[in-house]
């Protein structure tokens, strides 16, 4: 009776292995291994392995657990109890890895070869992005430059001359500060005003002056008087558009920019041109109204 008590599965004797538990239950039921094997359609060696706790021999865990469960159910031993004891064992069969090692290496190589083009494409995308950004910044900058020059050239000529002559401010103001004892700021403003009003007249005289031209070409001023309608386009050396539009009769436009200035006239006979205050003859081809010429830094036309 005492033996039967120890056999009861409810006993929390964790030392009892699942194999021993099942073996005792089988012996208690007076069944031979062969009888159980026939009943469960298992091979005799499998049952022996279970009772000896050699679960490795049974292969994948799904089989080991499955056979244990079938065996326990057949003997009327609580399945959970047996499985709990099974889990507590040390050397259990390993969960099968569906990929054998040899196969894994060849496949891994194949995968690596795929990674190359992917990386290359990623790099390409990054480079393209950078180029686009650079272009964007450059274009934006040149656009704003364009806009500045356009408004200045089209509307207020003096502003344009101020802006383009800004490099000149330094030496002039230096001279002014020597002459005048005002603070630097007002001197600079005075100098700017002086330039805006009368700097162009002497600028024709200093065409040959080397100290000025060495720092950069002096701007040229072109004054166009219209006797009739004519299309006009004028661009300076930086590519800025100084004038672009239809000239109407009895109107004059004055522009100035970094030489050489590119000029396109639709009807040359309807335009009188002064460069740096000196009237010049517009070069024309026989029988053609439209003309295209360049105003050089020294005021000559080509």
Partner 1 sequence: MFKNLRGIFSNDLSIDLGTANTLIYARGKGIVLNEPSVVAIREEPGRAGKRIEAVGQEAKNMLGRTPGHITAIRPMKDGVIADFTVTEKMLQYFIEKVHGNRLIRPSPRVLICVPYGSTQVERRAIQESAEGAGARWVRLIEEPMAAAVGAGLPVHEARGSMVLDIGGGTSEVAVISLNGIVYAASVRIGGDRFDDAIINYVRRNYGILIGEATAEKIKIEIGSAYPGQQVKEISVKGRNLSEGVPRSFTLNSNEILEALQEPLAGIVGAVKVALEQTPPELGADVAERGIVLTGGGALLRDIDKLLMEETGLPVVVSEDPLTCVARGGGRMLELIDEHGPALFNLE
From the list 241, 232, 218, the residue with the least C-alpha distance to 142 is: 241
117 contacts partner 1 (rule: CB under 8 A): no
Q: Which of 111, 185, 288, 302 binds partner 1 (CB under 8 A)?
A: 111
How many Cβ atoms sit within 10 Å of the Cβ of residue 194? 13
CA separation, residue 70 to residues 4, 16, 32, 50, 65 (Å): 22, 19, 16, 12, 9
Is 103 a binder of partner 1 (CB under 8 A)?
Answer: yes
Q: Least distance (Å) from partner 1 to the CB of residue 25?
A: 17
The CB-of-89 to partner 1 minimum distance in angstroms stands at 16
Find the shortest distance in angstroms from Cβ 117 to partner 1.
14
Q: Which x/- pattern over 4-43 shows residues binding partner 1 (rule: CB under 8 A)? A: ------------------------------------xxxx
Residues 205-224 that bind partner 1 (CB under 8 A): none
User: Which residue among 4, 5, 30, 114 contacts partner 1 (CB under 8 A)?
Assistant: 114
104 sits near partner 1 (criterion: CB under 8 A):
yes
Other C-beta atoms closer than 10 Å to the C-beta of 26 total 20
User: Is residue 127 near partner 1 by the rule CB under 8 A?
Assistant: no
Give min distance, CB of 83 to partner 1, in A. 9
Q: Single out the segment in contact with partner 1 by CB under 8 A; choices: 106-114, 176-184, 249-257, 288-296.
A: 106-114
- Report the nearest approach of partner 1 to the CB of residue 74 (Å): 10
Q: Look at the block and give the residue holding tokens 């009237």.
A: 279
The structure tokens listed for 245 are 């539009």
Count the site residues for partner 1 by CB under 8 A: 27
Question: Smallest Cα–Cα separation from 85: which of 28, 15, 4?
Answer: 15
| Closest distance of CB 81 from partner 1, Å | 16
Stretch that binds partner 1, among 26-34, 107-115, 219-227, 278-286 (CB under 8 A): 107-115
Residue 272, SS3 per DSSP? strand
Tell me the C-alpha distance between 167 and 148, whole Å.
17
Q: Judge whether 5 and 11 are in contact, CB under 8 Å.
A: yes
Interface with partner 1 in residues 36-95 (CB under 8 A): 40-43, 59-63, 65-67, 69-70, 95
Which residue, 273, 241, 254, 271, is CA-closest to 200? Answer: 254
Interface residue with partner 1 among 11, 56, 108, 139 (CB under 8 A) is: 108
Contact 22, 71 (CB under 8 A): yes
d(CA 160, CA 223): 14
Cβ of residue 184: shortest distance to partner 1, in angstroms? 56
Beta-bridge partners for 225 = 252, 272
Measured distance CA(129)–CA(172) in Å, rounded: 46
Cα–Cα distance list, 182 to 24, 91, 190, 302 (Å) = 118, 99, 10, 45
Residue 110 is a binding residue for partner 1 (CB under 8 A): yes
Number of Cβ atoms within 10 Å of the Cβ of 297: 16
- Residue 38 or 198 having the CB closest to partner 1: 38
Say which DSSP state 301 is in.
B
Write down the least CB distance from residue 98 to partner 1, Å: 5
Does 121 help bind partner 1 (rule: CB under 8 A)? no
Residues that bind partner 1 (CB under 8 A): 40-43, 59-63, 65-67, 69-70, 95-100, 103-104, 107-108, 110-111, 114
């Amino acid at each position: 009776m005492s033996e039967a008590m120890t056999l009861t599965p409810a006993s929390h004797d964790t030392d009892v292995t699942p194999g021993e538990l099942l073996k005792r239950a089988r012996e208690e039921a007076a069944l031979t291994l062969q009888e159980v094997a026939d009943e469960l359609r298992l091979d005799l060696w499998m049952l022996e392995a279970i009772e000896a706790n050699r679960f490795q021999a049974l292969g994948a865990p799904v089989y080991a657990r499955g056979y244990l469960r079938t065996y326990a159910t057949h003997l009327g031993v609580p399945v959970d109890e047996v499985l709990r004891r099974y889990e507590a064992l040390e050397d259990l069969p390993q969960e099968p890895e569906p990929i054998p090692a040899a196969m894994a290496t060849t496949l891994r190589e194949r995968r690596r070869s795929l990674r190359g083009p992917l990386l290359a494409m990623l790099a390409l995308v990054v480079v393209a992005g950078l180029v686009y950004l650079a272009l964007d910044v450059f274009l934006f900058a040149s656009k704003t430059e364009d806009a500045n020059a356009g408004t200045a050239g089209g509307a207020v000529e003096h502003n344009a001359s101020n802006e383009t002559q800004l490099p000149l401010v330094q030496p002039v103001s230096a001279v002014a500060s020597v002459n005048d004892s005002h603070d630097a700021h007002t001197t600079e403003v005075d100098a700017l005003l002086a330039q805006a009003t009368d700097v162009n007249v002497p600028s024709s005289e200093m065409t040959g002056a080397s100290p000025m031209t060495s720092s950069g070409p002096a701007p040229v001023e072109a004054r166009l008087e219209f006797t009739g309608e004519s299309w006009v386009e004028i661009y300076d050396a930086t590519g800025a558009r100084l004038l672009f539009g239809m000239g109407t009769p009895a109107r004059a436009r004055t522009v100035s920019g970094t030489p050489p200035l590119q000029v396109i006239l639709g009807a040359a006979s309807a335009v009188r041109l002064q460069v740096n205050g000196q009237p010049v003859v517009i070069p024309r081809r026989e029988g053609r109204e439209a003309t295209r010429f360049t105003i050089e830094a020294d005021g000559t036309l080509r």
